[in-house]
Chain A
């Protein structure tokens, strides 16, 4: 049993601006725990969580792997979430390295074929598109859930980078709900990037049907180094 991270240092006022761990967080912890033997064997040196929020998930991953066995990088667009993640890491003696950034923007250049484990519990709730992009610009609590069309608008900006970021043999864990059209997403990732995937856990929580999808990069593949500022959402 891996202990659930101690979050006693976070207060109700923190959760006014930062996502409080909920069922989607816990299904992700459970998926990581059930993969823990495989993950340890992989001897990951670099782990990256996008949207770490309270820091609960990366802290948990750190306790699985060992705090000095890997570098734990996290990003979040919400600056308050970044501070909470750091605090949660400290509270549990897992050093988390936070960058206040959107997705993997400042890391894409350097981390080609380099990340052993990527984790993303994204804003996956379907909303009108405008709501999602306004929430992104606000960098507050709304950005924790507002996902735009099919709940996929933010995730869809990140998916094209996954294969390039992953080291050969690396894994990407993504939380999704039924409305995200999981099968179609898996198919696209396979057709375009050759990433195989599997739904490793499925659970019903309240009104949501949650899944954790694990995408894996085979040992042989090296994805072309793709140096462009692709996270800028402009029309080319």
Chain B
């Protein structure tokens, strides 16, 4: 199940695609709406992790116009219920997610997005050793204390 809460956390990771790679655009979607348990405490805790403008535009792509452009300041129950429905109850079962930058297509089938890029998987052995060492070193150089 690709729900908007998950979709809001996915970005294109094609090689060299590092800007304007989020949010992925939906195309040819089949949607199923399923009820799920409402948990206001969870939502309050999770809101800081959400990219609001992306959530608004993606929900509109799926035909839901209940969210406003700005995250309201008052997180009352009526708003949280709307948010819950948008984040959790709209399931994209089939379709495609397309990178706005490089147009890479990520298919969704039976509710599971296929984001296992074959390029990453096919590269083997030695190159990885070099890059993982470099990553570690880079990360070290970048670390904020």
Contacts and interface: CB of A to CB of B under 8 A. Distances in A.
B116 interface: yes
Interface string B110-141: 11111111111111110110111011101110
B139 A101 contact: no
Nearest to A222: B144
Nearest to A82: B112
B125 A130 contact: yes
Contact of B125 (A107, A133, A159, A232): A133
B33 interface: no
Interface residues of B, number: 59
A99 B111 CA distance: 9
Interface stretch (B12-20, B57-65, B67-75): B12-20
B45 A43 contact: yes
A210 interface: no
A192 B3 CA distance: 36
Given A192-B139, A224-B139, A71 B120 contact: no
A67 B39 CA distance: 10
B45 A102 contact: no
Given A231-B13, A235-B130, A109 B22 contact: yes
Contacts of A101: 113, 115-116
Of B15, B111, B143, most A-chain CB atoms within 10 Å: B143
B127 A193 contact: no
Interface in A161-199: 163-164, 188, 192-194
Given A106-B115, A160-B136, A111 B9 contact: yes
Interface string A194-215: 1000000000000000000000
Contacts of B1: 86, 95, 97-98
Contacts of A159: 136
A226 B37 contact: no
Of B17, B41, B124, B144, most A-chain CB atoms within 10 Å: B124
Given A45-B46, A231-B120, A110 B112 contact: no
21 contacts: A45-B42, A68-B36, A68-B42, A73-B6, A95-B36, A97-B1, A97-B3, A98-B1, A105-B115, A106-B113, A109-B11, A111-B9, A129-B125, A133-B125, A159-B136, A193-B143, A194-B145, A233-B127, A233-B128, A233-B131, A233-B132
Contacts of A46: 46, 49
